[in-house]
Amino acid sequence: MIELAAEVPLPPPRYPGVAYALARYRARRIVESELRSQGIRVSYVPPRDIIAQAMEYLRNHPELLDQATESVRNDPKLRKIAEREERERLRQWRKLARGGAQPRNRLTQIKNPLAPSINNLADMRKTARRRRC
C-alpha cells in the first residue's frame, strides 16, 4: 500500500495568480537584461519574442515562482490581492457546487424572454419613422 502511494505523483503546488504575474514580470525583466548585455536593443525585439523567451525562462527556472510566492507572502499589498483572489475562487466553487454559477461570458448570458429582441427594436424604430413622415 505504501508503495502505491509513493508512485502517485503529487499535484504541483497552487500559487496565487498574483505570484504568477510577478514571476512572469521578473522573468521578462531578466530576459530583457540578457538582451541588453548582448548589445541588442530591447525596443527592436518584438514583444511576443520577449514574452516567449520569458515563459521559456520561467519553465527552466521554477525557483523564480517560489521567490515570487515568498514576495507575495511578505508584501502586505500583494498578500491582500492574493487573499481576495482566493476568496473569489472559493465563492465561485461554492456557486458551482450549488449549481447556481453562470459562465462569465457575454455570449452565454441568459436572455430575458420578456425583453424585446434587438430585431424587434429595429422594426419598431422603422415603423415609428414611417409614422412621423
| 59 within domain boundaries | yes
- The DSSP output letter for 44 is G
Looking at this protein, which amino acid is placed at residue 57? Y
pLDDT tens digits, residue range 110-132?
A: 444 444 444 455 555 566 556 65
Considering its fold, how many domains does the chain have in total?
1
The answer to whether residue 77 is domain-embedded is yes
What is the extent of the structural domain holding 64? 14-103
Cell 515562482 belongs to which residue?
65
Whether this model's pTM surpasses 0.75:
no
Please report the pLDDT score of residue 4 as a whole number.
Answer: 52
Pseudo-torsion of CA 51, 21, 77, 91, nearest 10°? 150
pLDDT band at residue 41 using 50, 70 and 90 as cut-offs:
very high
Inter-residue contact 50 to 42 (CB < 8 Å): yes
